[in-house]
């Protein structure tokens, strides 16, 4: 019987990451859990070992710090047992653009874009060489909706979606599956960390339902999984409209509406 690949999950101490850990443990996968809060990681690891009889290793790391991110990158490059990466670690940044500090934006970009890119870069060559494996990147529907008014956060999530789609185009022919998961508002600690009271929060999807839906998409090998979207035809129409524009991008003449009158 072929051994199940080990799963490395970032942001695993709570919320979506911890729920992914629970679900993969119950599927019989060994785990490597990454987060800053080592006490919560150890508690989760102990519970999952006891319940599922699997191996769980904990790595304490702040992925906004280059030296700590490098530890996780090294593990992904060198540990051939790890065949699935769940790029879940992320943070929110609420409030208007002019009210946010540049340093806060910088930390958000480091965690939400630089870290998942570097971690994917660390594992992808090895997965390609093996001809198997998966990278799951947690994006957000906010990356499709500038109207929601969380500009920098939304931009980071749009980046994650594009990164995932581009990687899937490149890596799928070589046996590596890449999935983007786009949650909407979900019941995690991001709201408390962002300083939003309960009456300031939108209706929230249960985190267990979110991850279970994402895993249905994972098992079906969807490139983009949007658990709250009820009509798949809407995403198909969106993707189709984008693809319909591609031939026009090859034109060497500006569109007529941009040409100066004679």
Crossing angle of the two packed helices 15-26 and 207-219, in degrees rounded to 10: 50
β-bridge mates for residue 32, sequence order: 8, 57
Q: What is the pLDDT of residues 19-71, one digit of tens each?
A: 999 999 999 999 999 999 999 999 999 999 999 999 999 999 999 999 999 99
CATH number of 6-230: 3.40.50.720
The CA distance from 72 to 34, in Å, is 8
3-state SS class at 19:
helix
β-bridge mates for residue 60, sequence order: 35
Looking at every residue in the chain, the average pLDDT score rounds to 93
Select which of 20, 153, 177, 258 is catalytic: 153
Positive or negative torsion for Cα 158, 125, 85, 192: negative
Confidence at residue 95, expressed as pLDDT on a 0 to 100 scale = 84
Side-chain half-sphere of 221: how many Cα atoms within 13 Å?
8
> Quick check: is 20 catalytic?
no
Confidence of residue 1 (pLDDT cuts 50, 70, 90): very low
Q: What is the pLDDT of residues 89-107, one digit of tens each?
A: 999 888 899 999 999 999 9
Domain extent listing, the chain: 6-230
Give the predicted TM-score (pTM) of the model: 0.93
């Amino acid at each position: 019987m072929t051994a199940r690949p080990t799963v490395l999950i970032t942001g695993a101490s709570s919320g979506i990451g911890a729920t992914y850990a629970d679900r993969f443990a119950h599927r019989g996968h060994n785990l490597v859990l990454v987060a800053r809060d080592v006490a919560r990681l150890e508690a989760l690891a102990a519970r999952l070992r006891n319940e599922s009889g699997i191996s769980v290793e904990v790595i304490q790391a702040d992925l906004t710090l280059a030296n700590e991110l490098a530890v996780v990158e090294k593990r992904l490059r060198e540990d051939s047992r790890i065949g699935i990466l769940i790029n879940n670690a992320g943070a929110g940044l609420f409030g208007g653009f002019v009210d946010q500090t540049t340093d806060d934006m910088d930390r958000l970009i480091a965690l939400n874009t630089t870290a998942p890119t570097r971690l994917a870069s660390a594992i992808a060559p090895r997965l390609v060489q093996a001809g198997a494996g998966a990278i799951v990147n947690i994006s957000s529907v906010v990356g499709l909706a500038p109207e929601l008014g969380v500009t920098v956060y939304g931009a980071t999530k749009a980046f994650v979606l594009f990164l995932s789609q581009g990687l899937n185009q490149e890596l799928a022919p070589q046996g590596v599956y890449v999935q983007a998961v786009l949650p909407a508002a979900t019941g995690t600690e991001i709201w408390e960390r962002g300083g939003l009271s309960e009456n300031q929060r939108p209706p929230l999807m249960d985190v267990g339902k979110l991850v279970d839906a994402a895993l249905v998409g994972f098992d079906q090998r969807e490139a983009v999984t949007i658990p709250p979207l009820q009509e798949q035809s809407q995403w198909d129409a969106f993707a189709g409209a984008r693809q319909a524009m591609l031939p026009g991008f090859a034109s060497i003449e500006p569109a007529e509406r941009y040409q100066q009158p004679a």
